[in-house]
């Protein structure tokens, strides 16, 4: 699918409808392009103002440099003018390959005008050899190539392995703004908003992301897709290569009707989608938070070899709370460690630590030092019966979060049992912010609550199981 | 239960084991007392250093002023010295009424030493007419009287109607730090950590909070309580007066075993607790986030008269997402409004707004201005078929969150349909922070996600239903 490469890494990008008015999408798009680091951005506006220090051209044809991508923010009723401008450019230069149409007012209105406009635009572009993303989308972000055609207020510029494709611009904006606001921001590879999917659609994007080296995990917000079989096959090919996490809405009858009213998607019977996603190895998230947590876990943690989790908590309450969540809402189980491991824990921990009572959980108590947190973790990771560890601590003034962070960072730098995921939960608020930032910038993933950590780990363990089933079948067949 | 008033509003509070070392609990307790605004705090330490500018006394008896409460941070093995000091004070002054024992090392260790210490302390205090909170607790906070005996790093000093009682100090610290870190902080009335419950226990605290004017809603973290019937009766009395939200852990076998290992609580069969909580009208939260959201909703919103919700969203995706959550995980239903209301919405909103398709949801689209958000909300609140409204918006540069906030604030100041709760969700991250802060400081409650808003609203509607059932029975009998 090298075909779509230019959508994410175009040589030259023109912004039609660029504006000097900060209250317009045509301003924010140029601002985002510049902030993303794009050096070949060309604002186009018939009124010819300057935009953010860049000279504006009256039309596409006046741009001397190559223009592989055109982002259009001009209102839908100027569609014919847009087509004329594209036709002129192609006649003289023939270099435009992709058109991203940000404006609404096309087929999604389900009115005659809008349908005709979309049809006319599509026919013209097809004859001009231009692929179309949208209309009614917010376009693409690529942190490797450095482009951002969206008008989303804040987008993470932190390069990472997560790529996200969305059937709703607003759901995309929700995640993008959330990720950009974290400290440090969540690492992003590519974001694509597909809008009306007049031409380029979900499956093409998924296929492209499968082959994309900078993408380690794919997230998708899905309302519905007309060719279920084609989507299933694409997801299956993708899941065999890298994890994919789907937030599929329309779980209820009313939700499905709302989806149909929104993008015209036939959400279909939810249990059919549910079964399909399971079968093709895609993980289904039940909330935006779960989607976000799970994407980060896949991107930044090693896959666990199995579902046996050891839980280390420095207080009883959060330990019981986490045990409940783990046992009730996940397919994870508490690990049974060897007697030698228990002995080592006993020696490493304060006298009243509660070790493996029940199995798989050490309550190291509030008397535990920061060093004892790390020591307990090391001992547990070295046990062969443990596939992953969750560490929950509520630091106090005399055992500050930054000390726990320092010890954990040292541990991961020297640990003899690599390859096992560790999920850290530091509770809570301002007193732990510095510790969380230290951990995150040193590659240790943290979660805001114990329940969110175990949900993400559950998806990882289930994906590992699905992969192994595939390997076994392959080996057997 | 006027008996416990002095626990929250003591005339004079001595801190035994006060310390000038910021790495000690005995330092943080004094710091928290001062920060809470307590003017009669007396640090006690045999070494007689100065603590945070306050003169330290060698013993309780040296304090000339009245001392109604003693907070002890001295290690458990000095219990006899603590008893001796209390006895001396009572002989000469007889003014101590409450002892808060912060130290661990008592019955929770389940070792002979600890059990004996707790027994000795209890017997002595009983003979000295002193009630004991703890041991192994973090004590109490009261924002009205201005005391804080805890060593929690950050506690909200914002007065509000929420009181919280916890069987785990760490779970309490988690919530306290989280609430203190919000901008503005969550409003708190009282916090109580009951620890080992050697003397003062959960039920006594619940009974006190029932009569407490500054408490509008009670939250509880519960592992287990030996006298189930007494707890049920107390909760029932409480729920008839004000809402109560319970996070009961030990939902699973392993979780129950962890609870037993922690506080020795017999968590019992979870379904028995579950049935009891339902019957007595307590709302059961399934996560800390749900507990926190629901407490805030009860404290700050009007109770809805029924379960009919109208959903206003400025984008399709979040609307479908919220519809799913509402239909799947709550007993709420989407409201059916009159034709006149639909006509009014049509006139008030952009041309492509999707109105009541499905029923109970208006997608006002990204073309909607801030004023149109407020206008749609007003129209909907005026319909008699609507008990509550959820408003979800993903502001963009050209329709900033602060403008939506301003319009909503104006609306609530002038609205002709008071008494209906409005739950606002502004998505997301830094771009909406200012808008959220404006709404919150003007009395409009916001939620971080649509799903969290509808879960909180669900609890309110269910509580209203339970209250009405009781009224009907009363009227019938």
Whether A429 and B180 lie within 8 Å, measured CB to CB: yes
Whether A315 and B169 lie within 8 Å, measured CB to CB: yes
pLDDT band at A417 (very low <50, low <70, confident <90, very high): low
Weakest-pLDDT range from A265-274, B28-37, B40-49: A265-274
Give which of B254, B333, B353, B355 to mutate to test A binding, by max A Cβ within 10 Å: B254
Average pLDDT (A199-226) is: 97
Whether A324 and B432 lie within 8 Å, measured CB to CB: no
Q: How far apart are the CA of B363 and the nearest CA of chain A, in angstroms?
A: 8
Q: What is the pLDDT of residues A9-29, one digit of tens each?
A: 999 999 999 999 998 999 999
Judge whether residue B38 has pLDDT over 80.
yes
Contact A456, A294 (CB under 8 A): yes
Average pLDDT (A62-76) is: 97
Q: What is the pLDDT of residues A376-404, one digit of tens each?
A: 999 999 999 999 999 999 998 888 999 99
Q: Which of B154, B317, B260 is nearest to A395 (CA)?
A: B154
Average pLDDT (B217-225) is: 96
Judge whether residue B318 has pLDDT over 60.
yes
Whether B177 and A316 lie within 8 Å, measured CB to CB: no
Chains A & B: contacts with CB separation below 8 Å: 267
Name every chain A residue with its beta carbon within 8 A of the beta carbon of B24. Answer: 398
pLDDT band at B25 (very low <50, low <70, confident <90, very high): very high
Average pLDDT (B419-447) is: 95
* Cα(B452)–Cα(B322) distance, integer angstroms: 10
Radius of gyration of chain B (CA): 25
Name every chain B residue with its beta carbon within 8 A of the beta carbon of A181. Answer: 428-430
Residue of chain A with shortest Cα separation from B311: A258
Query: Phi/psi zone of residue B129: left (φ > 0), alpha (ψ -120 to 50 degrees), beta?
Result: left
Q: What is the pLDDT of residue B260?
A: 82
Of A153, A252, A449, the CB nearest to B288: A449
- Fill in the DSSP letter of residue B304: P
ipTM score: 0.96
Q: What is the pLDDT of residues B123-175, one digit of tens each?
A: 999 999 999 999 999 999 999 999 999 999 999 999 999 999 999 999 999 99
Q: What is the pLDDT of residue A339?
A: 97
Name every chain B residue with its beta carbon within 8 A of the beta carbon of A104. Answer: 352, 365-367
Whether B23 and A178 lie within 8 Å, measured CB to CB: no
Quick one: what percent of chain B has pLDDT higher than 70? 97
Weakest-pLDDT range from A143-147, B235-239, B439-443: B439-443
Average pLDDT (A240-248) is: 98
Whether A318 and B398 lie within 8 Å, measured CB to CB: no
Judge whether residue B370 has pLDDT over 80.
yes
Judge whether residue A2 has pLDDT over 50.
no
* Cα(A52)–Cα(A44) distance, integer angstroms: 13
pLDDT band at A419 (very low <50, low <70, confident <90, very high): confident
How many CB atoms are located within 10 Å of the residue A53 CB?
7
Whether B320 and A25 lie within 8 Å, measured CB to CB: no
**3-class DSSP state for residue B99?**
strand
pLDDT, greater one: B259 or A451: A451
Residue of chain B with shortest Cα separation from A323: B255
Judge if pTM exceeds 0.95. yes
Q: What is the pLDDT of residues B67-105, one digit of tens each?
A: 999 999 999 999 999 999 999 999 999 999 999 999 999
Residue of chain A with shortest Cα separation from B398: A23
Judge whether residue A477 has pLDDT over 60.
no
pLDDT band at A472 (very low <50, low <70, confident <90, very high): confident
Of B109, B177, B249, the CB nearest to A431: B177
Give which of B320, B328, B355, B364 to mutate to test A binding, by max A Cβ within 10 Å: B320
Name every chain A residue with its beta carbon within 8 A of the beta carbon of B258. Answer: 316, 319-320, 323, 358, 361, 363
- Fill in the DSSP letter of residue B57: B
Give which of A321, A365, A452 to mutate to test B binding, by max B Cβ within 10 Å: A321
Whether A398 and B24 lie within 8 Å, measured CB to CB: yes
* Cα(B120)–Cα(B86) distance, integer angstroms: 13
């Amino acid at each position: 699918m090298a075909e779509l490469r230019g959508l994410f890494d175009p040589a030259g990008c023109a912004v039609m409808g660029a504006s000097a008015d900060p209250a317009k999408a045509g301003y924010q798009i140029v601002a985002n392009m510049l902030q993303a680091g794009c050096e070949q951005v060309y604002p186009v506006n018939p009124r010819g103002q300057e935009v953010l220090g860049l000279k504006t051209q009256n039309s596409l044809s006046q741009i001397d440099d190559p223009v592989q991508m055109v982002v259009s923010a001009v209102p839908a009723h100027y569609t014919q003018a847009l087509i004329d401008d594209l036709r002129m450019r192609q006649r003289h230069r023939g270099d435009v390959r992709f058109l991203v149409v940000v404006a609404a007012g096309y087929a999604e209105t389900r009115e005659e005008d809008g349908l005709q406009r979309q049809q006319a635009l599509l026919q013209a572009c097809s004859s001009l050899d231009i692929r179309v993303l949208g209309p009614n989308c917010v376009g693409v972000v690529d942190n490797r190539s450095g482009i951002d055609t969206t008008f989303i207020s804040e987008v993470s510029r932190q390069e990472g392995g997560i790529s996200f494709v969305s059937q709703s611009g607003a759901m995309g904006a929700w995640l993008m703004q959330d990720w950009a606001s974290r400290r440090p921001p969540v690492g992003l590879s590519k974001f694509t908003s597909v809008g009306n999917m007049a031409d380029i659609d979900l499956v093409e994007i998924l296929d492209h992301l499968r082959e994309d080296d900078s993408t380690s995990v794919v997230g998708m917000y899905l309302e519905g897709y007309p060719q279920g079989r084609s989507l299933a096959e694409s997801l299956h090919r993708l899941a065999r290569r890298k994890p994919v996490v789907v937030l599929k809405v329309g779980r209820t009858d009313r939700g499905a009707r709302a989806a149909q009213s929104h993008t015209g998607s036939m959400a279909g019977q939810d249990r059919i989608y549910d079964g399909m996603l399971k079968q093709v190895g895609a993980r289904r998230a039940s909330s935006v938070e779960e989607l976000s947590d799970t994407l980060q876990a896949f991107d930044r943690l090693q896959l666990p070899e199995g579902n046996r989790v050891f839980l280390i908590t420095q207080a009883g309450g959060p330990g019981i709370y986490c045990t409940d969540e783990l046992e009730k809402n996940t397919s994870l189980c508490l690990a049974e460690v060897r007697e030698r491991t228990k002995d080592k824990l006993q020696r490493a921990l304060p006298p009243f630590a509660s070790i493996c009572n029940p199995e798989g959980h050490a309550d190291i108590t509030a008397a535990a030092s920061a060093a004892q947190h790390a020591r307990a973790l090391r001992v547990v990771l070295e046990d062969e019966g443990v596939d992953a560890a969750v560490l929950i601590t509520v630091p106090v003034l005399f055992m500050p979060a930054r000390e726990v962070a320092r010890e954990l960072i040292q541990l991961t730098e020297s640990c003899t049992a690599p390859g096992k995921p560790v999920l850290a939960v530091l509770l809570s608020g301002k007193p732990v912010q510095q510790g969380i930032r230290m951990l995150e910038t040193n590659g240790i993933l943290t979660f805001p609550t114990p329940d969110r950590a175990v949900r993400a780990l559950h998806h990882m363990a289930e994906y590992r199981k699905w992969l192994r089933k595939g390997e076994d079948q392959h080996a057997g067949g």
